[in-house]
Amino acid sequence: MAQPDGGAVLVLRTSYSEVVQTDRRPATMMTAARMWLTGRDPSSTTRHRDVKSGGSRAAVLGAGDGLITNVSLVLGVAGASTNVSTVRLAGVAGLLAGAFSMAAGELVSVRAQKELAEKELDVERRELADEPEAEMRELAAMYRARGVPADDAMTVAQILSANEHVALDTHARLELGIDPEDSGQPVKAAAFSFVSFTIGAILPLFPWFFTRGTSAVLLSIVIGAVAALLLGAFIGSMAGRSVVGTALRQLLVAALAAGITFGVGHLLGVQAT
C-alpha cells in the first residue's frame, strides 16, 4: 500500500467509504479522483464550458443549418419569382426536408454510437468480472501514464476498484472515453435537431406569410443577416473564440449561400420566362 502523502488520498478514502456505505452513485468518488489527478478544486466547474453533452451547442448548430438552408432556398426561389405561394411552398418544403433529414441522420448516428458504447461497456464489465487483478493493474498504469507516482497510482487504483460501479465508471471514462450513465439518446437527439433546424429555417420564411415582393425579399435578407450574426456570436462565445469574428464568418457564409442561389435562381427564372 502506498504512503498517502496528501489530502487527495484522504478525500478518496472518505468518499470511498461513503460510496460503499450508501452504495450511491460514484459521483463523489469521481470528483475526488479528478481532483487528485488535476490538483484542482472540482467544485469550481464554472470556468469550464459544457464541452461534451452540449445540448445548446447542438441546438445552435441545428438552427444555423436551418437558417442557411432556407435563407438561400427562399432567396433563390425569390430570385426567379417573387410569387408569394411559390416562395412559401419552396420554403416550407425546404424546412420539412431539411428537418427530417437532420433528424434521421441524428437518429442513425447517435443510435450507432450508443450501440457501440454499450458493446464496449459490456466487454469492460466482463473483463472486470473475469480479471479484476489485471484490470486494477491496468487502471494503475493509466494513472501512472497521467503522471501519478507509481505507489499512489496503485493506491488510487485499489480504492477505485473496490466498488464495481466505481470501477466500471472509471474504466469506461479513462479507457473508453464513455460516460456509462449517458451513452446517448437517439430519439431525443433526433427530435432536438428537428426542432432546432425548424426554428432556423422558419426565420427567413416568416416575411412571406405577411408581405410580398421586394419588401419580403428585403425582410428575408435582414432577418437572415441578423439571425446569422446572433447565431455566429453565440457559437463563438460557446467555443471560446472571437465573438465578432465568428459572427461575421457566419454572416459571410449565409450571404454567400444566399447570394449564389439568388443569382442562380435569377438566371434560371429569366431563362424559364
Residues near Zn ion, by CB under 5 A: 135, 171, 175
Give whichever of 106 and 135 is closer to Zn ion, judged by the CB atom.
Answer: 135
Whole-number minimum distance, CB 111 to Zn ion, in Å? 25
Comparing CB distances to Zn ion, the nearer of 154 and 258 is 154
Shortest CB 119 distance to Zn ion, Å: 14
Cell output for 221: 435578407
**Shortest distance (Å) from residue 87 CB to Zn ion:** 57
**Nearer to Zn ion (CB atom), residue 143 or residue 192:** 143
How far, in Å, CA of 19 to CA of 28, rounded? Answer: 8
Query: What is the C-alpha separation between 265 and 258, in angstroms, rounded?
Result: 10
Least Å from the CB of residue 132 to Zn ion: 10
Distance between CA atoms of residues 92 and 146, nearest Å? 53
* Number of Cβ atoms within 10 Å of the Cβ of 1: 7
Nearer to Zn ion, 136 or 217 (CB): 136
Of residues 153 and 171, the one with the C-beta less far from Zn ion: 171
Q: Which residue is nearest to Zn ion (CB)?
A: 171
Q: Least distance in Å: CB of 171 to Zn ion? A: 4
Q: How many angstroms separate the CA atoms of 167 and 153, rounded?
A: 14
CA distance 135 to 137: 5
Q: With residue 124 as reference, give the H or E element that holds it.
A: helix 84-130
**Minimum distance from residue 128 beta carbon to Zn ion (Å):** 7
> Which residues have a Cβ under 8 Å from the Cβ of 177 and sit 6 or more positions away?
none
By beta-carbon proximity to Zn ion, the closer residue of 84 and 141 is 141
DSSP 8-state symbol, 150: H
Q: What gap in Å lies between CA 94 and CA 119, rounded to an integer? A: 37
